[in-house]
Amino acid sequence: MKKRIAIFASGSGSNAQKIMELFKNSPDAEIALVLTNNPEAYVLQRADNFEIPSHIFDRKEFYETDDIIELLKNLEIDLIVLAGFLWLIPKNLIAEYPGRIVNIHPAILPKFGGKGMYGDHVHKAVMAAGETEGGITIHYVNENYDEGEYIYQAKYKIEKGDNLEMIKFKGQQLEHQHYPRIVESILKKIKK
């Protein structure tokens, strides 16, 4: 029995793509579904390119019903991977998938985390603070933004002349290098 992953994303989905690539021909696991709150998200095109079904939902469906949970259960999802998903995960979903929801954050937590700290907002805060290092944190998800148990962290150096694009690029390189690998290692620990 293959283990089944659901990816939640709100935007472009470059991390989602790297994970799709890793599991494309895997005998052990597959991406069963991509979910998004953004009907314009490019991640939908990426899912389509890999022939992975997708589901678009709104705030009401996500926070006021159990529809998403039922969908995930019907598809026998083993692990939920957040890849640039911006909404707070509701308690009922966390309760249904304890220790089986992971996220990636574009900074070394606990610095530069919390509500509103995503994407460029994080990178700009890192620059404004005069940090000499940036990085990524892969962590389990709990009911608060960026407060779940850390799984893996990696750092990169911020050079004196680095602009926003350079910092984003360095961070994204680390994300693409490590996130798929960490997802795979977490999957191996889940009993089917």
Residue 43's contacts (CB-CB under 8 Å, 6 or more residues apart) are 7, 9, 10, 11, 12, 13, 16, 17, 34, 36, 54, 83, 84
Joined together, the tokens standing for residue 1 give 């029995």
- DSSP labels for 113-142? -STT--HHHHHHHHHHTT-SEEEEEEEE--
Joined together, the tokens standing for residue 50 give 């890999």
Q: Based on the residue annotation, tell me whether 105 is a catalytic residue of this protein.
A: yes
Q: Look at the alpha carbons of 72, 181, 14, 89 in this order and tell me if their dihedral is positive or negative.
A: positive
**Using an 8 Å Cβ cutoff, are 146 and 109 in contact?**
yes
Q: The tokens 């892969």 sit on which residue?
A: 138
Strand partners, 140: 102
Which one is catalytic: 55, 105, 139, 178? 105
Strand partners, 104: 138
The span from the CA of 99 to the CA of 79, in Å, is: 9
Strand partners, 157: 133
Q: Which residues are catalytic?
A: 105
